[in-house]
Structures are given as structure tokens and as C-alpha cells.
Amino acid sequence: MESFRNRLNKNTIPEHVAIIMDGNGRWAAKHGKARVFGHESGVESVRSVVEGAGEIGIKYLTLYAFSTENWDRPKEEVDALMELLVHAIEIETESLMKNNVRLSTIGDIDSMPTKVKEKLERCIDFLNSNTGLNLILALSYSSKWEIVNAVKELVQDVMNNKLKPEIINNELFENYLNTAEIPDPELLIRTSGEYRISNFLLWQIAYSELYFTEKLWPDFRKDDLFEAVFDYQNRERRFGKTSEQLIS
Ligand code: FPP
């Protein structure tokens, strides 16, 4: 079967794709291994998808790597995930550089272990002048946390007379979110056959197309990304309008 890549319309590639990478634990169980083995294998999927996203000209790729709620997992798993992050950043930095990828994060980065923070900062600095894909890692992220924080900052600005409540609108509010400089994702993908948003980018996905696949994250590769983009390209995005209005 021909790769989905060759069937894509180059003119309607989504600018921003966000992914909820799910199913690492089940993938490990399926292979009779510990959960952390699933996370390790998931890094290969990350590599493939980052490469694929760059190849077809996606400008922003946001990966949900660690949620606020993930802190409640058993300590061994949280520690292993943090170690894996440090290791993955070390190993992948060169190839991210070669692929002209820029890196940034959203989420409560201050709550991450110092070692992770330091590695991330160094990697972000190193890749800072790249001009290709913007890879955004959501770490210790949850959308409700992000929105509440935005409200706190906004209220502070109102109290300091920097802002009049009358001028608050969608665009202004978005400036207070972690994603201030990032366009909303046109496409949100979730793997592993779960049909949930799990506190991810709730504001930003107001009009995103949602794509769910049964594949577990460690089995997901760039061709699966291309298939999702192909599916997206064959949908009609109406933004609340009628089909007829879109034609005229
Ligand atoms: C969800 O699977 C996955 C995670 C909580 C972690 C995702 C992390 C990685 C893929 C590795 C590191 C990432 C980068 C960016 C280098 P799950 O554990 O919830 O699976 P389950 O639902 O089957 O239990």
C-alpha cells in the first residue's frame, strides 16, 4: 500500500498538531515487560513522529509527555520517566539539531526535578536559532492549571491598573496562556483507543479536529501521523458555519 505521505495535499498541511501519547503501559504489559519498558519504546515513536512532522512541513508539534496528574503515579514510575526524559534529551539533541528542530515547553516546569530542568534549558538554548519544526513538550502540564494561572495573572494586571476588564476578550486572554505565541492546533491525535482529552489544551482545541487511533503509542510511527493528517485533510472544517457558507 502506498504511503499516506504521497497522498497528502501539500497546501493543507496543519500548522500545529498536538498528540496525547497514550498506551505505553498496556504495550509493555502486552509484551510481558515492566511499564517503564513501554515508556522507553515510546521514545522511538517520538523520534519517528518528530522526523515525520518536519518532513511534511508541520510547524508546531505539541507532545503531552507528562501531566500534572502523572505525579500521582508510583514513585518508581515517576522517577523512571524523569530519568528517561533526561536520557532522551541527551541522546536526541544532535538529531534535533540536524533536523533543524526548535524546542520549547509548556507546563509547570518549575515543578520538574533540577536535573530535567537543566537539561531542558541547555537543549532549548542550543536549538534556539533553528527554523524548522517547533517541538513543544507539555511537562507537568494540565489545562485547568494553565487556565487558572492565566486568570491569576490577568486579575493581578487588572488590580495593578495595567488592564481594564472591559477590554478582556479571547485574544487578550490567550496572551496569558502558556501557548501565547503558538497557533491553536488544527489536529489533536490520541493513541490507544481512549476517547478522552485528559486535561490537555482545553482552550486551544475549541475547533481542533480530533483523531483517535487504536494503536498504542510505542507502535505509532510517522506513517501513522501521515494517515491522521490525511484523515484531517478529508474533513470539512466549518467553525460553526454551514457548508454552503464555506463554498461562497
Ligand atoms: C502514557 O502512557 C504515556 C506517558 C504518561 C508518558 C509519555 C512519555 C514518553 C513517550 C517518553 C518520553 C517522552 C519524550 C518527549 C522524550 P500510559 O503510561 O498512560 O499507558 P497506559 O494507559 O497503557 O497505562
137 Cα nearest atom in ligand 1: 15
Q: How close is the Cα of 194 to the center of ligand 1, in Å?
A: 14
The question of whether 199 is a catalytic residue gets the answer no
Go through the domains of the chain in sequence order and give each one's CATH number.
Answer: 13-247 (3.40.1180.10)
The question of whether 231 is a catalytic residue gets the answer no
Residue predicted with more confidence, 107 or 248: 107
Pocket of ligand 1 (CB under 6 A): 21-26, 39, 42-43, 46, 63, 65, 70, 84-85, 88, 137, 217
Query: What's the grid cell of residue 56?
Result: 511534511
Q: How close is the Cα of 36 to the center of ligand 1, in Å?
A: 9
Mean pLDDT across the stretch 202-211?
98
Contact 176, 150 (CB under 8 A): yes
Q: How close is the Cα of 117 to the center of ligand 1, in Å?
A: 19
Q: Is the pLDDT of residue 237 over 80?
A: no
pLDDT tens for each residue of 4-32? 999 999 999 999 999 999 999 999 999 99
User: How many of the other CB atoms lie within 10 Å of CB of 16?
Assistant: 22
Task: Please tell me the residue having the least CA distance from ligand 1 atom 6.
Answer: 65
**How wide is the angle at C-alpha 221 spanned by C-alphas 124 and 37, nearest 5°?**
75
Mutate to test the pocket of ligand 1, among 39, 96, 136, 140 (most ligand atoms within 8 A of CB): 39
pLDDT band at 246 (very low <50, low <70, confident <90, very high): confident
pLDDT tens for each residue of 120-159? 999 999 999 999 999 999 999 999 999 999 999 999 999 9
**Measured on CA atoms in the order 174, 209, 228, 234, is the torsion positive or negative?**
negative
